Structure 1
Amino acid sequence: MTTPNVQSGIATAPLQAGGLAAVGFLAFSEVTSGMLQSWYIPLIPKIGQRLDVNPAQLNWVLASYLLSTVIFVPLLAKLGDRYGHRRMVLIVLGSVTLGTILTAAAPSFGIFLLGRVIQGSLGALLPLELAILRERAGANSGRAIGILVGCLGAGGAAGTLLVGMLGTNADLTLVLFVPAALALVSLATIALFVPETSTRAAGSIDWTGAALLGIGLAIFLVGISNGSKLGWTSATTLMAIGGGLALLVAFVALEQRISAPLVDVSLLTKGGVGFLMGLTGLFGLQFYGAATVSVLFFASKPEAVGYGFGLDSVGVAFAISPVPIALMISSSLADSVSRRFGNRTTLQMSSLLIAIWFVGLITFRHNLSVFISMGAIGGIGVGFIAALLPALIVSRARPEDSAIAGALYNTSRTMAGAVAGATFAAIMSSMLISGSQIPSESAFITIWAICIGVSLLIFVLAPFLNKLGGKAYQPETTEQMINLPVRESS
């Protein structure tokens, strides 16, 4: 019989056969995923130069990716629950390969962003792997999730450093092709060594919901990002924002009405998942929203604009590397730390570390060595939260809902990041150096100050975790207690 762990909130059960092997091969794919996700960030200045894009528009390099993950993640997770999680992992890696080739060969910024949108399917990789771990790793699922997130951070650190070295000396097109090879190697590894899951969920796929979510969010973000240029009270801006919100409201209404929704909104009212999703959204807003901003600050030339450090691709890569390195270490320790000190204390400590990071960016924005070192402090906090929240969310779902629960986590995080990216792009477009299209230093300070406020809000909400964050899923039948998979009928 399973018993809940009081500290972690994750149910315990005997480790199932093949669990350790599955963790190892999936960890390799997360290293690849981390490299792919970090690959473009140090190259953002060079991408802007190649495609003749201004700094504010470059926020869409990350925002377009995050936007597409909002649609891809719940859709592919649902398909994984229905048709097999390993099968969807292979489709994800194939799609990422295609999108990567498109970004490398893109003749314009629009085509480049199309490739980034296709790459957004990568966001579904972790939720699908969480479902595989739920079946294979049993009681060690919390620890295994920490390992996967740690490998994601390790890949991010390795990718950041590697692309920095290649970006200075190699042709940009060739550098952009490298992630395609990485994705293909990971695809072959999963295809050869990771078995398919046996749990299946019934129901059809909500294609209408996917369309409403994708179109609604895209229109809304376009309205937000162009508000400063077109005018916040202009008919175009108001129609885009209002129309996008209307479609999103229609999406929520549809999901509540149909029997097989794309996003099971009812999960948000069960087991404290809604509260955890709210914390996840706040986390995504600050971490993803500010990623491009810091890179642009590192690359800005102080002799030309009065701020920044004028770093090239190698310099930017090494400057941002403390964040993924610290994330890798802390995420692998998150399960042990939360068991020792409790989830609430771990969450509060993490949010304070992230707040200190952004305070440091503002305070030491003219001191390169201290500015860089602040990333290590923030990375520790990011790693703890990035490992803790998905483990808690997945533990509160039924086994057959594991992938969609993980997808809700990723959707909440990336949707907030996409909204933040569009909002921060609007801030950078509205706070310009006089007579230019270059953001002023005040724009960067404003964005970092917003991130400080969000971190402190997480700190304030953390004490309510035990009351509002729910408890781990408890099986109601003997079959559920021994975690027997429900096999699809032939």
Structure 2
Amino acid sequence: MTGAPTTARETAGRPAPDPGRTGRTLLALAFAGMAVAVQQTLVLPMLPQLMDRFDAPITDVTWVFTASLLAGAVATPLLTRFGDMYGKKRMIVLALALLLAGSVVCALSGSLVVLIAGRALQGVSASMIPLAIGMIRDTFPRERVTTAIGVVSATMGAGGSAGMIVTGLIATRTDSHRPVFWIAGAMAAAGLVLVGTAARDVGVRAGGRPDYPGVAVLAAWLICLLLGISEGNAWGWTSGGVLGLFGAAAVLCAVWVVIELRVRAPLVRLNLLVGPRSLSANIASALLGFSMFAAFTLIAGFVQARPDAVGYGLGGSVLDVGLYMLPSTVTMLVFSFMAGRIAARIGPAFTLAIGSAFAGLCYAWLAVSNSHVYDMLAFSSIQGIGFGIAYAALGTLAIQHVPMDQSGIASGINSLVRTTGGSIAGAVTASVLAGQVMAGTDVPSLAAYELCFWVVAAGSVVAAIVALVHGFRHHD
């Protein structure tokens, strides 16, 4: 079986897809996804600059990134559930409107607190990608779903690289943080116009009432968990604050499970999280989120390290980091289009295994050879192949077995665990880099980077194994 079964209930009354209309819808969703991905990475190269501008320690400035992460984690299951209930297009428009508002707040900010508040508004837009995947399943003909999901998913990597390039170009001309946020705002506005005019909402709506207790408790335990992960290095992993946050997350998660099992219309049907066909897709998503996020953090530091000073690195600038990732953008877009054909032949699970294997290969390459420009270009090219194939298949695997009126929340849960995997990647790689430094300095050693590359490669390989087991077990 290579696709989700289509029931009469799912197709009744649904108009035949218009190829021209679906093409415009895909263009609108892909551009909107690019706008969301850009905002996620454009602040990473700016953190040292923001420390100087606001005269703040790195522990305070990292909230510029953490606030966006936490807001996205909390908003994603909520807005995707609302998308199933009230319409996915409405929620996509809301997410983009908050991205626009947050960008304006950030561009006008004169203090770190206001900047962080604006970043939290921007972070809500992370829910746009799973909403778009749900809309694609509602709108597109069955044979084009995997390819369309691949195109939208590829914007995560392409937008991440674009964010680095935008910040690098601006950093060479000004030390102000405002221009990058005006650019993010302009992209959000353009995305709003495109989605508003081109996208259509034809999906089955679940109806029902919002599960407000489930929303509140889910938000509470996600904030505790991700805050503990994000601040583990700064506060200390055995500190009372971090252990208290993890303990609170565990207790609140247990309470949340009880709530979701008892309410008539739960925010999250737990079978979408840990059901026999969902669990493997969510585990793979967490592992691939770990791998992709690690690329943005590890590669930025490695490329900018100066070989004449520390004995490794490429001595590049912030702009160079983005340029080195351009091959990944190209190959990701190309292979995301090919993923649909591959999945039609062998199924999304085995397709995911192939993509994950390529993702592991690119990090293994850097662990073995990393001293030349061609090493970084090869890494980038192979990474794009891997994630282009894997994310297209993963999006399909996450939703193919669920009813149409639950596709938004199923995709949202899959996106949420990917975000959690990315958060863990930041904590793990930071711990390794901080724990293995050059003698008499706080500069990470080459061995520390190479160990990180091996760890991330192992995560991708495990994702491939999980996908293979799923494919053989469920014959997807």
Return the TM-score normalized by structure 1. Answer: 0.84
Cα deviation 1:105-133 (Å, max 9, x = unaligned): 44455544443332222222122223322
The answer to which of 314-323 and 429-438 deviates more is 429-438
Q: Is the alpha carbon distance of 1:259 and 1:443 closer, same or farther for their aligned partners in structure 2, counting shifts above 3 Å? A: farther
* 2:335 aligned residue: 330
Aligned partner (choices 308, 312, 321) of residue 313 of structure 2: 308
Identity %: 26
Question: Is 1:391 matched up with 2:396?
Answer: yes
Aligned partner (choices 69, 74, 90) of residue 72 of structure 2: 69
C-alpha deviation, 1:172, in angstroms: 3.9
Asked if structure 2 preserves the Cα contact closer than 8 Å seen for 1:230 and 1:236, the reply is yes
Cα deviation 1:270-313 (Å, max 9, x = unaligned): 56122211111111122124422211222233444443223223
Q: Is the alpha carbon distance of 1:247 and 1:379 closer, same or farther for their aligned partners in structure 2, counting shifts above 3 Å? A: same
* 1:89 aligned residue: 92
Q: Is the alpha carbon distance of 1:264 and 1:413 closer, same or farther for their aligned partners in structure 2, counting shifts above 3 Å? A: same
Letter in 1 for 2:337: S
Q: Aligned partners of 1:152 and 1:289: how far apart in 2?
A: 14
The answer to which of 135-144 and 377-386 deviates more is 135-144
Asked if structure 2 preserves the Cα contact closer than 8 Å seen for 1:209 and 1:251, the reply is yes
Asked if structure 1 preserves the Cα contact closer than 8 Å seen for 2:170 and 2:179, the reply is no
Aligned partner (choices 146, 149, 152) of residue 153 of structure 2: 149
Cα deviation 1:375-432 (Å, max 9, x = unaligned): 1111101111100011122221111111111112211211221232233334444444
Letter in 2 for 1:66: L
* 1:272 aligned residue: 277
Question: Is 1:246 matched up with 2:285?
Answer: no
RMSD across aligned positions (CA)? 3.1
* 2:106 aligned residue: 103
* 1:480 aligned residue: none
* 1:484 aligned residue: none
* 1:476 aligned residue: none
* 1:123 aligned residue: 126
Letter in 1 for 2:389: F
In the TM superposition, what are the counterparts of 1:11-90 in structure 2 within 5 Å? 11=6, 16-18=16-18, 20-38=20-38, 41=41, 44-52=44-52, 64-90=67-93
Asked if structure 2 preserves the Cα contact closer than 8 Å seen for 1:429 and 1:439, the reply is yes
Question: Is 1:357 matched up with 2:358?
Answer: no
Q: Aligned partners of 2:273 and 2:445: how far apart in 1?
A: 40
Q: Aligned partners of 2:430 and 2:251: how far apart in 1?
A: 23
The answer to which of 258-267 and 103-112 deviates more is 103-112
Q: Is the alpha carbon distance of 1:306 and 1:103 closer, same or farther for their aligned partners in structure 2, counting shifts above 3 Å? A: farther
* 1:418 aligned residue: 423
Question: Is 1:447 matched up with 2:452?
Answer: yes
SS at 1:169 equivalent: coil
Q: Aligned partners of 2:30 and 2:203: how far apart in 1?
A: 22
C-alpha deviation, 1:151, in angstroms: 5.3
Unaligned stretches of 5+ in structure 1?
1-5, 472-490
User: How many residues are paired up?
Assistant: 466
* 1:204 aligned residue: 209
Q: Aligned partners of 1:58 and 1:365: how far apart in 2?
A: 30
Asked if structure 1 preserves the Cα contact closer than 8 Å seen for 2:233 and 2:430, the reply is no
* 1:477 aligned residue: none
C-alpha deviation, 1:243, in angstroms: 1.9
Question: Is 1:169 matched up with 2:173?
Answer: yes
Question: Is 1:233 matched up with 2:235?
Answer: no
C-alpha deviation, 1:183, in angstroms: 0.5
Q: Aligned partners of 1:441 and 1:302: how far apart in 2?
A: 10
Q: Is the alpha carbon distance of 1:330 and 1:272 closer, same or farther for their aligned partners in structure 2, counting shifts above 3 Å? A: same
Asked if structure 2 preserves the Cα contact closer than 8 Å seen for 1:100 and 1:116, the reply is yes
* 2:289 aligned residue: 284
Asked if structure 2 preserves the Cα contact closer than 8 Å seen for 1:69 and 1:120, the reply is yes
